[in-house]
Every structure is written in C-alpha cells, then in structure tokens.
Amino acid sequence: MYVERSLFAMKDECYRKAMASYGKWSARAAQATAKCRKAHGSVRKSAAGASLKRWQKEKWKDKRTGAPCGGSSNSTEYCRPTKKVSKRTPAMPRGKSLRAAIRTKLSTGHAPSFRRKRK
C-alpha cells in the first residue's frame, strides 16, 4: 500500500506536465515539477530539493561555449559551475587544468574530477 501511494505521488499532474514539456527526466524537469507543486500548495522538502536549489544558484555553463548547460543533447558539453555557493560546490578548474579537462572530456567522453586541497 505504501509503495503504491509513493508512486502515485511521484506521477501527479505536475510530473506529467513537466514530462510532456521536457521529454525526459532532468534537472530542469525537476525544477518545473517543483515550481508547479509549489504553486498548487503541495511542497515536499528533501535533501534532493536543497541540492537542486544549490545547483540552480551555481549557474552551470559549458566552459567551451559559455552556453547554459542542459539545453542540448550534446554529450561533449563540459559543464562547470560559475559561482561558488557553498562548500558542496564542485571545484572549478582554471587555466591549464581547464584546457586539459576539456581535452579529456572530448577524447574519452568523461570529465575528470577535481579535488580540493585540504588545509
């Protein structure tokens, strides 16, 4: 019974509206669903929602073109945040390490991870 209710809650009218608009589940579709649910008065606060808000504030952009991320089906986008919002914001490479990371992404299809130096 509990599983049925949680699945029903996931696929409400706001979810169906976002899926019709975006075609697949993505961060943008999640934002549209949350906005719709907030307008209708049914808001669920969770760690995932807080993470999505942080992601939105970070203003992620493609480091090669400068275009906002998530708008195309191009798998060679190298998206990184432009603003550091909290300690959970991923590291932002600059200079030679940025160029090397873009080359790696284009050749292998996977972006390298950057770790912050511990103090």
The first and second tokens of residue 48, run together, are: 């995932």
Q: Is 109 within 8 Å of 75 (Cβ atoms)?
A: yes
Paired tokens of 16: 């169906």
Q: How confident is the model at residue 38 (pLDDT cuts 50, 70, 90)?
A: confident
Of 9-13, 35-39, 61-65, least confident by mean pLDDT is: 9-13
What average pLDDT does this structure show over 83-92? Answer: 81
Residue 68 in this model has a pLDDT that exceeds 60? yes
pTM of model > 0.75: no
Over the range 76-100, which residues count as b (16 or more CB within 10 Å of their CB) and which as e?
ebbbbbeeeeeeebbeebeeeebee
Which is nearest to 98 in space by CA: 45, 48, 61? 61
What mean pLDDT do residues 35-57 have? 82
